[in-house]
Amino acid sequence: MEITNEVKQRIAGAIASDRENYPSDNRHATALGISASVYNAIKRGNYDRQVSDAGWVGIARRLGVQLRAEMPWTAAKTPTYVFISKQLEACQDSGLSAILCDMPNIGKTFTAKAYVKQHRNAVYVDCSQVKTKLKLVRHIAKEFGVGSNGRYSDVYADLVAYLRTIDTPLIVLDEAGDLQYEAFLELKALWNATERCCAWYMMGADGLKEKINRAIEGKKVGYTEMLSRYGDTYSKVTPDDAREREKFLKAQAAIVAKVNAPEGSDIARIVNATGGGLRRVYTEIEKLRRVQA
């Protein structure tokens, strides 16, 4: 698709907001995958022939900018949002690490992305997109604005050195169950190299917990040590009891609907139609918005 100047302006605005989370323009430019000269041109409002349309799309995707005009979405302070935000803050402030394993579609990813946008030296990693050791470490390096090209050993060393020098870095590993075995081992090595200097927060559905437990029971090298480094326990937000869990999910759906649905919407109908699944809540609300537009 062709990227209009209006869209470029919105992306440039997101770049300016995201800049607050980086110590320098050069680090930020590296994280965005553009040169320092191009970064400075965009900063001055000069968009012509600086970045290809594909490049603009890539930056927009990284910063969560919608290419098509959409109604704004307000972050609702659901129990999941509050719980994960507090855990992330505690980990980052203290250099601790933790694992959250819970059911899908409750707002884990949304919360993590929102937190990272609002906190300096925090990065979000979708592990389903970087499953191998090399892709994972290069991606983390790029997110922090560290050079991610060149020899892997150099990228690794530069990343470790950088994490040991900045204040309270935090790395959120979402969909961690998708990582290959070598990547898990490299996470243990990175944790060792940045002990007490960097916080790590691993997230996934119940399958992540099962994967780690199976590996530990099978005495697979590295998993027991890794779990120990992440606190030897799994956090969870949703209740174990089925009835209580249903109430919890519907209550969350109602909270989200109340702050995002058009005025006068039937909140109970939205909740019942979605069963508490937040992605379906989003879909239902978007339908209502289009009808009223």
Residue 101 lies in a domain: yes
In this structure, are 151 and 267 located in the same domain? Answer: no
The verdict on 40 and 150 lying in the same domain is no
Continuous segment of H or E residues that includes residue 60: helix 53-63
Q: Which residues contact 212 (CB under 8 A, 6 or more apart)?
A: 99, 223, 226, 227
CB 254 within 8 A of CB 276: no
The number of distinct structural domains making up the chain is 3
Q: Is residue 235 part of a domain?
A: no
Classify residue 234: in a domain, yes or no: no
Question: What pairs with residue 199 in β-bridges?
Answer: 170
Q: pLDDT value at position 275?
A: 87
Q: Clarify whether residues 190 and 111 are in a common domain.
A: yes
Give kind and range of the element (H or E) at residue 146. Answer: none
| In the predicted structure, residue 286 carries a pLDDT above the cut 90 | no
In a domain, 36, yes or no: yes
Question: What CATH number is given to the structural domain containing 123?
Answer: 3.40.50.300
The tokens of 51 are what? 């970045």
Return left, alpha or beta for 168; rule: phi > 0 is left, psi -120 to 50 is alpha, else beta. Answer: left
Least confident of 126-130, 169-173, 231-235, 273-277: 273-277
SS3 state at 172: strand
198-245: pLDDT as tens digits: 999 999 998 899 999 999 999 999 899 989 999 999 999 999 999 999
Q: Judge if 123 and 222 occupy the same domain.
A: yes
For the record, the structure tokens of 238 come out as 């949703």
Q: Which residue has the tokens 């009835």?
A: 243
Q: Is the predicted pLDDT of residue 70 greater than 80, yes or no? A: no
Taking only the tens place, the pLDDT of each residue in 94-120 is 999 999 999 999 999 999 999 999 999
Tell whether 249 and 223 lie within a shared domain. Answer: no
User: Do residues 59 and 117 both lie within one domain?
Assistant: no
- For residue 126, what pLDDT is reported? 97
Q: Is residue 151 in some structural domain?
A: yes
The whole domain housing 273 covers 242-292
Ramachandran sector of residue 251 (left: φ over 0; alpha: ψ -120 to 50; beta: rest): alpha
- Give the per-residue pLDDT at 5: 87
Of 205, 229, 253, which residue is a domain's last? Answer: 229
- The answer on 214 and 145 residing in a single domain is yes
Two tokens, residue 135:
């892709």
Same domain membership, residue 136 and residue 34 = no
In a domain, residue 74? The reply is no
Q: What is the mean pLDDT of residues 61-81?
A: 85
Where does the pLDDT of residue 293 fall: very low under 50, low under 70, confident under 90, or very high at 90 and above? low
